[in-house]
Chain A
Amino acid sequence: MSDEQGLFAFHDVVVERQGIRALNGFSARIEGLGVTGLSGPSGSGKSTLLRLCNRLEVPTSGQVLFRGDDVAGLDPLTLRRQVGMVFQKPTPFPGSVRDNLLAAAPDAGMDELEQALLRASLDGSWLDRDATTLSGGEAQRVCMARTLAMEPEVLLLDEPTSALDQAAVEIFEQAVSELVKAGLAAIWVSHDTVQLRRVADVVLRIDDGRYAGTDRIEHGSPAEEV
């Protein structure tokens, strides 16, 4: 990765849908070291920004760069396998947990499947469970394991714990923390600033579709505004 180019860079990005601007000239850079938090009020454009990173959304104007390359010029399917995403609402596919993991990595062997589960704080005993009967927290970790099964370089997290109870939130946060320690870059969208101070190393603030500043988090001390 080029340190100068950062992981993602946004140049004057506008996203307009049905006449409403979700992003309104957003420019910023995400270094991609540890966990980058994206914070802002509801409707400020956080999730839209995240969806630009794996091209589930494209800008109306402006440019999004991934490691210095314009994502518009990259193969979207390859990009999405490099930049995995966990959504706000757990979306287990019908079938077993194994079926879900194989949807992401059809050629994966038993070891790879178990490894993906372990990285999401689950274990091999989950493989034969029906993915559609899991609790919210369990389903979300299965979805994370599914994303990890394709060995992404970056993990996009779109309010992944907003529907989980406190115990499930802690397990999820711990799992992400372990992944980041192992070298994975994560971008975590949340409206919960307390959570972002807990999990993120740096937080980008978005307001009304525009970049509103960056906070570097010194864990154990108050945030430092940049």
Chain B
Amino acid sequence: MEGDVSIAGLATSLALVGVAAAISLWQRLGLERRILWAAARALVQLLLVGAALALIIEEGRPLAWSWLWVVAMVAYAGDVARRRAPEVPGVMWLAIAAFSAAAIISLGVLFGFGVLPLEGRTLVPLAGMLVGNSMTATVLVARRLVEELRDKRDEVEARLALGHASQQASTPYLRTALRSAVTPQIETTKATGLVFLPGAMTGLILAGVSPTDAVLVQAVVMFLILGSVTTTAVVMALGLIRRLFTSDHRLRWLPRQAET
């Protein structure tokens, strides 16, 4: 294939990591060890994932292995969300629920309507795009919602004191949090093709696929991501509201995150 990269080519590309490390040394940023470590770690991770993917998605393998991979990916993403937003109560399980909901809806549409064939080689990468691209929005909406309800506690309690149920009392803050989480993806979607060429499309073109076919695949991926970002954000936000209020419509105590 035209896009094949040889071992020598890979080694040559590492020179670019050297450039980054050299700039760090030159400007005394103290980042050179971290740059080298990040590059080495990424390479090892990619090689391991590549080997595992080759085992799982190669023709003839049962599809169950690919689904298992997706489940593991969702579970790991839940753990990443927990580490990124430790101040958000129950964030891991909420994130797992949010990614699962997005996977069921988005993959259900793509495979259920036959947009793409349901195979390991389509399922695993699409689920990866879905989870990876929804992570930022999921964490952002959770953090923002907790922040809004904590900082505007007086206002929230004033609404509760008017006999508003917790869902109603939290609606303005929920909307703010959802808008802030979903807007970046809308902007990215708008700018696609004009400001930057997305990774999936670039990868396909480099691998020798015709630009027209690459664009079609990319469009599907973009819509998958937009739908997933919105779904994960809304599931996370609605789930979080249930965690942050008691069943008798009181706002729970929300400690301020320790300064780091």
For chain B, the bracket of interface size reads 10 to 19
- A55 close to B248 (CB less than 8 A): yes
What residues of chain B lie closer than 8 Å to A104, measured between beta carbons?
A: 162
Question: How far, in angstroms, from A78 to B162 measured CA to CA in the complex?
Answer: 9
- B253-A18 in contact (CB<8A): yes
A63 within 8 A of B: no
Chain A residues, Cβ within 8 Å of B86: none
Known: A55-B248, A57-B250, A77-B249. A87 touches B163 (CB 8 A): no
- The digit string for A126-151, where 1 denotes a CB below 8 A from any CB of B, is 00000000000000000100110010
Which B residues are CB-close (under 8 A) to A78?
163
- CB–CB B162/A147 < 8 A: yes
Q: Does A115 contact B (CB under 8 A)?
A: no
Residues of A within 8 A of B155 (CB): 91, 93
- What's the tally of chain A residues with a CB closer than 8 Å to chain B? 25
What residue in chain B is nearest A57 (Cβ atoms)? B250
Expressed in whole angstroms, the Cα–Cα distance for A173 and B211 within the complex equals 75
From known contacts A56-B157, A91-B158, A93-B155, infer whether A81 and B163 are also in contact, taking CB-CB under 8 Å: yes
Asked whether A80 and B253 contact (CB < 8 A) given A87-B157, A91-B155, the answer is no
**A56 to B162, Cβ gap below 8 A?**
no
Complex: A114 Cα to B95 Cα, angstroms: 47
Whether the pair A84, B161 counts as a contact (CB closer than 8 A) is: yes
Whether A93 contacts B163 by the Cβ 8 Å rule is no
Interface hits, A148-193 → B, CB 8 Å: 150
Chain A 91-120 interface 0/1 with B at a Cβ cutoff of 8 Å (1 = within): 101100000000110000000000000000
**Taking beta carbons and an 8 Å cutoff, which residues of B are in contact with A?**
154-155, 157-165, 172, 248-250, 253
**Given A58-B248, A58-B250, A76-B248, list of 10 further CB < 8 A pairs?**
A56-B157, A80-B163, A81-B162, A81-B163, A87-B157, A93-B159, A103-B159, A103-B164, A146-B162, A150-B163
Using CB atoms and an 8 Å cutoff, list the residues of chain A in contact with chain B: 17-18, 54-58, 76-78, 80-81, 84-85, 87, 89, 91, 93-94, 103-104, 143, 146-147, 150
**Shortest beta-carbon contacts, A-B, top 8:** A81-B163, A91-B158, A85-B161, A80-B163, A77-B163, A76-B248, A104-B162, A91-B155
25 A-B residue pairs with Cβ-Cβ distance under 8 Å, sorted by A, are A56-B157, A56-B160, A56-B250, A58-B248, A76-B248, A76-B250, A77-B164, A77-B165, A77-B249, A80-B160, A80-B161, A80-B162, A80-B163, A81-B163, A84-B162, A85-B158, A91-B154, A91-B158, A93-B159, A94-B172, A103-B164, A143-B158, A146-B162, A147-B162, A150-B162
